[in-house]
């Protein structure tokens, strides 16, 4: 028998249409029907305010703690500490209305080993889609990645990750901010290598997320057919046409940059990382504006766990960054929900039949004021109330 839930207001379907006197039927954690007006049976729970789909954070690092020197922390971290961090930090996302996160790399693949490719760690955890990271032993992200230099190395790593249950893999198409000795704008994978790796990953049913700051790395990743490009800090108009005809989604993580740049204690962070983040901040902000103006396919990540970037609350801040870049409120909310579900590959992201019953109850209307996303009153995950 279905459980019926009713709401004063809800954003229904993939277009997030506002509906008053909304109802939702749930069977075995999945939405079986939605509507408005008189529900088909008495409601199990009625909620005031606004019900929206659960938020989807496409880029987190649950085994990193957002300290001042993440590379040093990761290199010193043992298995037990990593597991404790994951269990301590995952609930912060659920508290802020995030019902699905994609973890894009953890020391020793601790997140992947804890949950397999996709699952819920415990009642205090959002759904976690775990990716394994693969990259050069001397390049950006080496402290999170299975070492690989040649195509054979990458293929062996892909097979090992698939065997462990991974649903996705992360590759490093460019250098980065946190890793010493690397430059965000520099290319880290040759175009023929990233194309071959993406093809091999897709043959194994693995989605591919490409860390790509620099222009050439973004271009190479899009041409290779990656599923998501993370950061895209130096995006140019030349990449917009290939994006429009392809299936690649841009995942903005600008909130991570802004948190680092604006942190009052940033002077205590790794000096090299601080210099790099200050240098590329305006480029990343401009790239986000370009993507919004072009109507590019967008999803949202927070990169939570990276330098001075705590877990929880980042999606609310990122919503305001998207609005500042020119995206209308409905578009912002779609990027945080529908766009994220498509990018990550989960049956969620909208209040619609056939999708997981994941939702957030807010006090006020987020279409009218995006700061309403901060007022989370209740959270449902797979048909169960996990907050409120």
C-alpha–C-alpha distance, residues 234 and 175, integer Å: 12
Are 139 and 68 contained in the same domain?
Answer: yes
pLDDT digits (tens, 9 = 90+) for 110-144: 999 999 888 998 878 999 999 999 999 888 988 99
What are the C-alpha distances in Å from 78 to residues 45, 87, 255, 348?
44, 15, 28, 34
pLDDT digits (tens, 9 = 90+) for 143-187: 999 999 999 999 999 999 999 999 999 999 999 998 888 899 899
Q: Provide the percentage of residues in the chain whose pLDDT is more than 90.
A: 87
pLDDT digits (tens, 9 = 90+) for 62-85: 999 999 988 888 889 899 999 999
Are 282 and 381 contained in the same domain?
Answer: no
Look over the chain and give the mean of its residue pLDDT values, rounded to a whole number.
Answer: 95
The pLDDT score that the predictor gives to residue 156 is 98
The enclosing domain of 265 has a CATH number of 3.20.20.140
By the 10 Å C-beta count (0-12 exposed, 13-18 middle, 19+ buried), 232 is classed as buried
Judged against a pLDDT cut of 80, whether residue 299 lies above it is answered with yes
Which residues, 6+ apart, have CB-to-CB distance to 312 below 8 Å? 89, 92, 93, 95, 96, 304
C-alpha–C-alpha distance, residues 287 and 306, integer Å: 21
Are 273 and 355 contained in the same domain?
Answer: no
Are 72 and 106 contained in the same domain?
Answer: yes
pLDDT digits (tens, 9 = 90+) for 233-264: 999 999 888 888 889 999 999 999 999 999 99
Are 43 and 81 contained in the same domain?
Answer: no
Q: Which helix (H) or strand (E) holds 12?
A: strand 3-12
Are 192 and 150 contained in the same domain?
Answer: yes
The pLDDT score that the predictor gives to residue 245 is 84
Look up residue 365 and give its two tokens: 């209307």
Distance of CA 148 to the CA centre of its chain: 24
Instruction: Judge contact between 268 and 318, C-beta under 8 A.
Output: no
Are 359 and 294 contained in the same domain?
Answer: no
Are 39 and 144 contained in the same domain?
Answer: no
C-alpha–C-alpha distance, residues 11 and 218, integer Å: 34
Are 242 and 143 contained in the same domain?
Answer: yes
Distance of CA 373 to the CA centre of its chain: 17
Are 21 and 96 contained in the same domain?
Answer: no
Instruction: Judge contact between 230 and 209, C-beta under 8 A.
Output: yes
Q: Provide the percentage of residues in the chain whose pLDDT is more than 70.
A: 100
Residues spanned by the domain of 353: 3-54+348-387
The pLDDT score that the predictor gives to residue 122 is 84
Q: Which has the higher per-residue pLDDT, 42 or 209?
A: 209
The enclosing domain of 379 has a CATH number of 2.30.40.10
Largest CA-CA distance found in the chain, in angstroms, rounded: 62
Are 243 and 310 contained in the same domain?
Answer: yes
C-alpha–C-alpha distance, residues 173 and 190, integer Å: 8
Judged against a pLDDT cut of 80, whether residue 1 lies above it is answered with no
Closest-CA residue to 198 (of 246, 140, 129): 246
Are 13 and 86 contained in the same domain?
Answer: no
Domains in the chain: how many in total?
2
Instruction: Judge contact between 4 and 330, C-beta under 8 A.
Output: no
The pLDDT score that the predictor gives to residue 180 is 85
pTM over 0.95: yes
Q: For 31, list phi and psi in degrees, rounded to 5.
A: -75, 125
The pLDDT score that the predictor gives to residue 181 is 87
What are the C-alpha distances in Å from 201 to residues 107, 116, 148, 197, 281?
21, 17, 14, 6, 31
Closest-CA residue to 239 (of 262, 205, 215): 215
C-alpha–C-alpha distance, residues 280 and 302, integer Å: 17
Strand partners, 349: none
Instruction: Judge contact between 260 and 308, C-beta under 8 A.
Output: yes
């Amino acid at each position: 028998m279905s459980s019926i839930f009713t709401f004063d207001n809800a954003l229904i379907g993939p277009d997030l249409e506002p509906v008053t006197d909304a109802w939702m039927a749930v069977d075995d954690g999945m939405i079986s029907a939605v509507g408005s007006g008189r529900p088909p049976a008495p409601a199990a729970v009625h909620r005031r305010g606004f019900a929206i789909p659960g938020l989807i954070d496409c880029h987190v690092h649950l085994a990193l703690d957002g300290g001042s020197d993440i590379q040093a922390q990761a290199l010193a971290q043992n298995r037990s500490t990593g597991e404790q961090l994951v269990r301590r930090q995952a609930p912060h996302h659920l508290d802020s209305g995030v019902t699905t996160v994609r973890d894009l790399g953890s020391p020793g693949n601790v997140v992947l080993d804890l949950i397999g490719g996709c699952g819920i760690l415990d009642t205090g955890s959002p759904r976690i889609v775990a990716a394994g990271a693969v990259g050069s032993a001397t390049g950006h992200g080496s402290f999170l990645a299975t070492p690989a230099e040649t195509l054979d190395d990458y293929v062996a790593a892909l097979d090992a990750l698939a065997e462990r249950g991974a649903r996705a893999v992360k590759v490093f198409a460019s250098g980065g901010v946190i890793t010493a000795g690397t430059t965000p704008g520099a290319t880290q994978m040759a175009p023929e290598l990233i194309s071959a790796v993406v093809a091999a990953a897709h043959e194994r049913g693995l989605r591919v997320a490409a860390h790509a700051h620099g222009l050439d790395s973004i271009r190479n990743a899009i041409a290779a057919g990656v599923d998501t490009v993370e950061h895209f800090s130096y995006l140019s108009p030349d990449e917009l046409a290939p994006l429009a005809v392809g299936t690649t989604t841009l995942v903005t993580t600008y909130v991570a940059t802004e948190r680092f740049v604006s942190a009052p204690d940033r002077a205590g962070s790794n000096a090299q990382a601080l210099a790099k983040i200050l240098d590329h901040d305006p480029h990343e902000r401009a790239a986000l504006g370009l993507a919004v103006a072009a109507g590019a396919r967008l999803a949202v990540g927070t990169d939570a766990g990276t330098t001075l970037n705590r877990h929880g609350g980042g999606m609310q801040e990122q919503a305001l960054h998207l609005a500042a870049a020119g995206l209308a409120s409905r578009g912002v909310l779609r990027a945080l929900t529908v766009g994220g579900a498509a990018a990550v590959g989960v049956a969620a992201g909208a209040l619609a039949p056939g999708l997981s019953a994941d939702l957030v109850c807010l006090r006020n209307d987020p279409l009218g004021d995006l700061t309403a996303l901060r007022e989370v009153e209740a959270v449902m995950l797979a048909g169960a109330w996990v907050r409120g």
